């Protein structure tokens, strides 16, 4: 009987960990973390397990990662944070969780767009209200000199800012 040992590269292990966050398997996520996997490791696109878990609406995985010290403001290679993705998708409960754990409501991506801007762009009215109540700046401007307030006016959503 020959011993067939499988050797994974660090990149493959990171990819498996991030795929586990994407699928929301908290048991396997816990095993990775207990084995010493860095909670804020990144893949080739700069995605962290938290970014991937939240973008895929995996609340329990996001809770676990945050409890284990995940940075709620970690950004991918485009500068987008977990809250940006959640604002775009309209995942209100996960947005609450991120904000409770200190996520910046105004952290812009590399184009200067904030979570509030994404919420407005995709018509996520409840998210817009949530972010404004959490202190988001409706007048922050992106690299095109456009703010969330301006976007809202263009889309007929200015009532959200009154």
Domain ranges within the chain, ordered by starting residue? 9-71, 80-162
Query: How many Cβ atoms are within 10 Å of 28's Cβ, its own excluded?
Result: 16
**9-71 and 80-162 in the same fold:** yes
The CATH-assigned architecture of domain 9-71 is: Alpha Horseshoe (1.25)
The CATH-assigned architecture of domain 80-162 is: Alpha Horseshoe (1.25)
**pLDDT tens across 84-107, in order?**
999 999 999 999 999 999 999 999
Residue 88 · residue 58 · CB < 8 Å: no
**CA 44 to CA 76: how far, in whole Å?**
9
Q: In this predicted model, which residue has the larger pLDDT, 12 or 67?
A: 67
pLDDT-based confidence at residue 51 (cuts at 50, 70, 90): very high
Q: Can you give the pLDDT at residue 4?
A: 67
Task: For residues 45-66, give the mean pLDDT.
Answer: 96
Q: Considering the chain, what percentage of its residues have pLDDT values greater than 70?
A: 98
CA 43 to chain centre: 14
């Amino acid at each position: 009987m020959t011993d067939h040992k499988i050797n994974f590269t660090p990149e493959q292990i990171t990819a498996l960990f991030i795929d586990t966050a994407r699928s929301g398997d908290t048991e396997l996520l816990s095993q990775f973390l207990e084995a010493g996997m860095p909670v804020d490791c990144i893949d080739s696109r700069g995605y962290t397990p938290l970014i991937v878990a939240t973008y895929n609406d995996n609340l329990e995985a996001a809770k676990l990662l945050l409890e284990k010290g995940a940075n709620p403001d970690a950004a991918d290679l485009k500068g987008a944070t977990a809250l940006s993705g959640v604002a775009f998708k309209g995942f209100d409960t996960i947005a609450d969780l991120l904000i409770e754990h200190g996520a910046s409501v105004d952290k812009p991506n590399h184009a200067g767009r904030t979570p509030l801007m994404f919420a407005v762009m995709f018509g996520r009215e409840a998210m817009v209200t949530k972010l404004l109540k959490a202190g988001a700046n409706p007048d922050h401007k992106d690299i095109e000199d456009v703010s969330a307030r301006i976007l809202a006016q263009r889309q007929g959503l200015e009532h959200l800012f009154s």
